[in-house]
Amino acid sequence: MELLFQFGLFAVLLLIGWSIGGVTERRHFRSLVEREAALRDILVFNERRPPADRDFRRAELVMGSVVIGEDYFKRFAATLRSLFGGTLRMYESLMDRGRREALVRLKEAARRQGATMVFNVRFETSSLSADTGQRGIFSAEFIAYGTALTPR
């Protein structure tokens, strides 16, 4: 009886993770595509030096960050996939979402300053799974930062 209950709970969590997690992910990707299109005029570079022939009125550090966690289904699928090794697609999409979200937020911050370019953009990822390690759920923080330049 107890075994049955445990299995039931597991199946329900898996289903919730798969359905809600899937919907959230698709919605997130749609919103990313929209916002990326709207912010296309903000140029980002990872070059260290801005062009010397341009004159800038203002230089300001800007950043964008987001913490994203996996859903129950992803975790299960990844555990299963890890038995054989190879590409973990469920995590690839998670990392992609996080990094693009951080970059979009960086661009939004740059726009608020009235900047048109961001130089020396750096990405950083840190796993927060040590925090939630007891449950084995993986979450990561993505940050993007750079120097926003406002032309004179």
Partner 1 sequence: MDLTNLETVPGKTIVRHLGLVQGSTVRSKHVGRDFMAGLKNFVGGELKGYTDLLNESRTEAIDRMVAQARAAGGNAVVNVRFSTSNIAAGAAEVMAYGTAVEVR
Spatial contact of 140 and 67, defined as CB atoms under 8 Å apart:
yes
Q: How far is the CB of 54 from partner 1 (least distance, A)?
A: 8
| Torsion region of 150: left, alpha or beta (phi above 0 gives left; psi -120 to 50 gives alpha) | beta
Is residue 124 at the binding interface for partner 1, with CB under 8 A as the rule? yes
The terminus-to-terminus CA distance of the chain in angstroms comes to 73
CA 72 to chain centre: 18
Is residue 103 at the binding interface for partner 1, with CB under 8 A as the rule? no
**Of residues 55-84, which lie at the interface with partner 1 (CB under 8 A)?**
55-61, 63, 65-72, 74
Q: Pick from 13, 32, 88, 95: which binds partner 1 (CB under 8 A)?
A: 13
Q: List contacts with partner 1 (CB under 8 A).
A: 13, 16-17, 20-21, 24-25, 28, 48-50, 55-61, 63, 65-72, 74, 94, 101, 119-120, 122, 124, 126-128, 130-135, 137, 139, 141, 143, 145-147, 149, 152
